[in-house]
A and B are shown apart, each in its own frame.
Chain A
Amino acid sequence: MKIVVAYKWASNPQDATVGATGAIDWSRAKPGISEYDPVAVEMARELADATGGEVIGLSAGTAAVNATMARKAALSRRFDRAVIVADDALASSGSTELAAVLAAAVQHIGDVDLVITGDSSIDVGGKMVPTVLAGELGWPAIAEVNSVTGTDGGVRVERATSDGTEVLEISGPAVLAAATDAAVPRLPGMKDILAATKKPVEALTLADLDVPTTAGTVSIKGTARPALKARKGQMIDTTDPAVAAAALVAALRGTGAL
């Protein structure tokens, strides 16, 4: 099976600082492989090893995605090779643009049987790139997938629904978004990192791909800091739990919360 795993090179918003106007300063945040994407890699690796086949890492972003560090970090994961679309024109791209680029790259790779993505990216976290990607490719998509096995000409997946577990069979190529707990990713060791530099990487720019342009129907009017309720920040002494509990209950009854 030829499996593509889409991984994002992104920074954790928790390391960014937000100015009074809501402007975000990412300079202190160090990008890395987005939190949940290693789960997708693990899921893909296991499937590929079971069915025989390769796992190809695919990422789209600015030049940073193709920096030595970023390549090494990615390829030290359990990919066989990687295709990287690095173009600074993608700096401010939204989910639809990114998905369109990824779809074009999947076409470029050719004969792909399955695309697996993470649940959500650590920065945008919209959970939409995989589904738009599927739309671009005209393939079926399933999100929050817990496990996947190969069938002839397709896959069989399990996912948790609001009232249980559902087993689905998909014929032909598809896009799956792995649930955050679908697999336990392995941390790369020193040997993995050394091996990383020997894996083949194909670096592309937008010029190498045929990407449809997304309608510019949305613009930014402004940004703001989330308005936080003023909190009392009152600490209750807990040396005697019973006393503390009584104090809390009294306080909450006072405010009418109880």
Chain B
Amino acid sequence: MIGKTWIVVAGDAAVGNLIATARGFGGTVSAAVVGPRAVADTIAGGGVDDVLWFGEPGKAPVEAYAGAVADAIAASPGIVLGPTGPSARVLLGAVAARMQVPVLTGGTTASADGDTVLVTRSVFGGIADEINIVAGPAVLLLDGGQVSAADGSAPVQQVDCTPLGITVVETRPSHLAHVDLGSAVRVIGVGRGLGAKEDLALITELAGASKAEIACTRPIAEGLDWLARDRYIGCSGWNISPEVYFAIGISGQLQHMVGVRGAETIVAINSDPNAPVFAEADYGLVGDLYKIVPALTKALT
């Protein structure tokens, strides 16, 4: 039986999976919410026992509350769960430092086992799994997931605090669309095999014809900036398990493939017959994506 579990919320209410996990531990579940009141209320209605809210952020980014969150949680320590986003990581880092406790990343499942928690983690870029026994306060990062409203609402207590000296002086909205790949049934992943950003049109057509979401490898989102940063799959991005995943112009490096190992079926299209991706594919097509993708779109319409 676990005494207390904390859930750290960093501006975004997508912590459903964490609440469910914490509930599974038994014991009380408290949330430390940084962000607008609306987020605090969503969490309060999402099945936690109580909510600490750090006030309206105004010009202060989530990260400015790291110290305050650390203080609050260190005051009544427990197992701390949090999502994997950059702002959440800053809050969680401060908590781990303040309590001087271990941090577990790459967590896939966590469940109570007597008065300890068993955590399964994918370690070292996914080459192995490790099962850990957590026997006291520790920080555990898990993938988010939408909050499903529970009946009743937990009390929200406002903590007054002075944020650290960071202020947002400017925001420039991007024009890259976002998705929730977590729930997508079909996903088309595109990699550096694509010659130019314009050629994404080919992929969009295929996506239309197959009713699939478009995702990518890291270099496509970071570096080339052809797609939003929340669209790349792999150990530092999404871990998805769709019905079918199309890996197009993707070499199939470990760090990417770990993110799609849950896929029911994997189709690989690559001009290099020796590309590692074929080793993890159900259907492999060796050839030029510029020839195969249009043909595939045609075959689907």
Query: Are chains A and B native binding partners rather than an unrelated pairing?
Result: yes
CA distance A225 to B122 in the complex (A): 10
B97 near A99 (CB under 8 angstroms)?
yes
**B164 interface hit (Cβ, 8 Å):** yes
Interface positions, chain B 159-201, Cβ under 8 Å from A, are 164-174, 178, 186
A179 near B118 (CB under 8 angstroms)?
no
Chain A interface category by residue count? 35 or more
A residues in contact (CB < 8 Å) with B: 13-14, 16, 18, 22, 24, 94-96, 99-100, 103, 119-120, 122-128, 130-136, 138-144, 154, 156, 159-172, 174, 177, 179-181, 212-215, 217-229, 231-236, 238, 241-242, 244-246, 248-249, 251-252, 255-258
Q: What 1/0 mask marks residues of chain B from 96 to 107 whose CB sits below 8 Å from any chain A CB?
A: 111111111110
Chain A neighbourhood of B225, CB < 8 A: 181
Cross-chain pairs A/B with CB under 8 angstroms, 11 sampled? A99-B96, A131-B94, A140-B63, A141-B90, A144-B229, A166-B170, A217-B134, A219-B132, A220-B130, A235-B283, A245-B295
Q: What 1/0 mask marks residues of chain B from 225 to 239 whose CB sits below 8 Å from any chain A CB?
A: 100111000011000
A135 near B94 (CB under 8 angstroms)?
yes
Chain B neighbourhood of A141, CB < 8 A: 63, 66, 90, 93-94
CA distance A145 to B243 in the complex (A): 35
B299 near A169 (CB under 8 angstroms)?
no
Q: A236-B283, A246-B299, A255-B265 are in contact. Are A133 and B133 (CB under 8 A)?
A: no
Q: A165-B171, A215-B137, A257-B243 are in contact. Are A224 and B105 (CB under 8 A)?
A: no
B222 near A164 (CB under 8 angstroms)?
no
A252 near B267 (CB under 8 angstroms)?
yes
Nearest residue (CB) in B for A184 is B223
Q: Is the interface of A mostly helix, strand, loop or mixed?
A: mixed
CA distance A201 to B219 in the complex (A): 34
A142 near B102 (CB under 8 angstroms)?
no
| Further pairs besides A141-B90, A162-B230, A215-B101: 14, Cβ < 8 Å | A14-B254, A22-B130, A130-B93, A131-B66, A132-B93, A142-B166, A143-B89, A163-B178, A168-B168, A169-B166, A180-B222, A234-B283, A244-B285, A249-B300
Closest beta carbon of chain B to A27's beta carbon, Å: 14
CA distance A241 to B280 in the complex (A): 22
Chain B interface category by residue count? 35 or more
Closest beta carbon of chain A to B229's beta carbon, Å: 6
CA distance A252 to B246 in the complex (A): 11
Q: A16-B127, A138-B67 are in contact. Are A168 and B169 (CB under 8 A)?
A: yes
Selected contact of A252 from candidates B92, B100, B244, CB within 8 Å: B244
Q: What 1/0 mask marks residues of chain B from 126 to 138 whose CB sits below 8 Å from any chain A CB?
A: 1111111111111
Closest beta carbon of chain A to B202's beta carbon, Å: 13
Selected contact of A180 from candidates B95, B123, B133, B223, CB within 8 Å: B223
Chain B neighbourhood of A162, CB < 8 A: 85, 178, 228-230
CA distance A241 to B271 in the complex (A): 13
Selected contact of A236 from candidates B89, B92, B235, B284, CB within 8 Å: B284
